Chains A and B, each alone.
Chain A
Amino acid sequence: MLSMRGVSYRYPGYARQVLQDLDLEIAPGDIVGLVGRNDAGKSTLCLVAAGLAPASIGGTLTGEVRVDGISTVGRPTHELAASVGLVFQDSNTQRSGVTATVFEEVALGSVNLGRSVAETVRRTRDAMATLRIEALADRDPARLSGGQAQLVAVASILAMGPRLLVLDEPTAQLDPEGTRLVGAALRDLAATGTALLIAEHKTDLLDGLCSRIIALDGGRIALDGPAASVLEDPALAAIGVESPARVRLARAATERGLTIPAGAFAR
């Protein structure tokens, strides 16, 4: 679905390569987690994977980024939008600014893809029900709490039904319940064959959700493998990533010569 080969990228006006020589393949149905420090290049990788960099924001890309086997370079953004969705880190960046209600905001992307009204209404209702934000339907999208705005941003992309979905810290503003709902929605989406790339600090969320985890450090891939093995890798700490609670606890116990039975971690 997404294929990146030898990808390096720098922003317009900067000499520093923010991404360096990355290789990445994401197949339909894969959920790939992206972890790393705040300046490791996660957001940039999201922009490049979604085809927004360099197409919309400029900069210099070397290497190859293909979605569905077709290079994203030189491909018009409106065409790319039919297959690739991006949930921005800041939901204010995402908000269209042209809609008066949350319902219209969630529907807008689907409308722009040329779908029928009936189809868009159905998709919009489904997306809002999935994240339990039906009650926000008539609210002004510019006057929401941080958590509500983030759920609206995720819903608007769910309604578009992209085949590759890139999410940059989609749960940063959410309470534990909102985080759980987004996790469940993403799992369901992957089950329909959507490929997912999720940048996230909450390794507890990624644990059990992702099939694979990539850890970035200084714009390069430092770790890449099955989710459980990367999340249990002691090398995570050195690149500024916190392991999930179950891993921290098991490790702390081992260091004292103690054991926590695996069953004790069950939800």
Chain B
Amino acid sequence: MIEIRGLVFDYPGGSRALDGIDLTIQDGERVAIIGQNGSGKSTLVKHLNGLLRPTMGEVFLDGAPTAGIRVAHLAARVGLAFQDPDRQIFAGKVRTEVAFGPRNLGRRGGELAAAVDAALVAVGLDGVADQNPYDLGYSRRKLLALASILAMDTRVVILDEPTTGQDADGVDRVRRIVSDLGAAGRTVIAISHDMRFVADSFERVVVMGAGRVLLDGPPANVFAEAGWPTLATTYLEPPLAARVGARLDLGATATEVSLIEALAARAG
């Protein structure tokens, strides 16, 4: 379980990025964090694996304050795939890149190879395991960064804008990975601007604006009409399915499937 209490973070120079965040995330939850650029989303998740330390407030992991846990130990429990894969990738081969994390966690031999293979298959890069990461295009480097985190087999997986630059197949792949992680009981936290992905793949949505939590609930609640004015303050719009559902008085239909089902139910 992750508990965030009164978290405030000021960047050097004084600008306040997080302005009092209280949030509890249970084991196995799939949580999407949304909000405009600069609303504090990335800053928040960097507190969960110790990349940033609070200016005020505390973060607890399974009841223990992360302030007392070294980053190397946090890394075994919380994996974070960066928004920009090039800040993460450094190895000369795709396979070596993916092996780096689990090797640091002490995996060796067959166990290491199996973790690397499974991660490469999950992101669809098993065919390019021996290539140089920089021979891959941006969207595949992004999947590589994701595989590197999956291979560490952490209980908490954080993805910063995982669908950026992905085509339809790539987005499907990311959806499957989130769903598989959820089914395996892992906690998945993703930052995303893709409202359809958010509504389809997550059971809880946290809306951030100016370093605070503005809304927090299931997609159907957060994207319901009552929340639209709040979403607008952080320059977000609900997915089209939610807007159409509200116009047709079908209630809260955050996903395309729920909209069609509501329409069918009314038609009898």
Contacts and interface: CB of A to CB of B under 8 A. Distances in A.
Interface of A: 36-39, 43, 89-90, 92, 145-148, 169, 172-179, 201, 204, 237, 240-242, 245-246, 248-249, 252-253, 256-258, 260-261, 263-265
Contact of B140 (A38, A148, A264): A38
B37 interface: yes
Contacts of B138: 89-90
B130 interface: no
A245 B239 contact: yes
Contacts of A249: 240-241, 244, 256, 259-260
Contacts of B139: 38
Given A38-B166, A176-B195, 14 more contacts: A38-B137, A146-B84, A146-B164, A179-B193, A240-B168, A240-B169, A241-B168, A245-B256, A246-B240, A249-B256, A249-B260, A253-B263, A264-B247, A265-B240
Contacts of A242: 168, 171
B103 interface: no
A132 to B, nearest CB: 11
Contacts of B248: 260-261, 264
Contacts of A174: 37, 193
B36 A173 contact: no
Contacts of B259: 249
B239 to A, nearest CB: 7
11 contacts: A37-B169, A38-B140, A38-B167, A201-B168, A241-B167, A242-B168, A248-B256, A253-B263, A257-B267, A265-B240, A265-B244
A92 B134 CA distance: 14
Nearest to B160: A146
B64 to A, nearest CB: 31
Nearest to B259: A249
A177 B36 contact: yes
Contacts of A146: 83-84, 164
B237 interface: yes
B264 interface: yes
A179 B167 CA distance: 17
Given A172-B165, A245-B196, A147 B241 contact: no
B167 A264 contact: no
Contacts of A204: 240
B183 to A, nearest CB: 24
A209 to B, nearest CB: 16
Interface in B156-207: 161, 164-171, 193, 195-196
A248 B257 CA distance: 11
A20 to B, nearest CB: 19
B236 interface: yes
B86 interface: yes
Most B C-beta atoms less than 10 A away, residue of A175, A178, A260 = A175
Contacts of B36: 175-177
A245 B167 contact: no
B213 to A, nearest CB: 17
A145 B236 CA distance: 19
